[in-house]
Amino acid sequence: MSATDSSIDPGCASESVADTVAATRARLEHTLDAIDDKLDVKKRATELGGRVAASYESNPVPWIIGATSAAVVIIGLVAWAIFSDD
Domain regions of the chain by residue span: 13-83
- Spatial contact of 48 and 55, defined as CB atoms under 8 Å apart: no
| Among 12, 3, 4, 37, CA closest to 21 | 12
Is 1's pLDDT higher than 90?
A: no
Question: Percentage of residues in the chain with pLDDT exceeding 90?
Answer: 74
Other C-beta atoms within 10 Å of 56: how many? 13
Q: What is the pLDDT of residues 22-81, one digit of tens each?
A: 999 999 999 999 999 999 999 999 999 999 999 999 999 999 999 999 999 999 999 999
Phi, psi of 13 (to 5 degrees): -75, 150
Phi, psi of 10 (to 5 degrees): -60, -25
**pTM of the full structure:** 0.52
Residue 8 DSSP label: S
Is 2's pLDDT higher than 50?
A: no
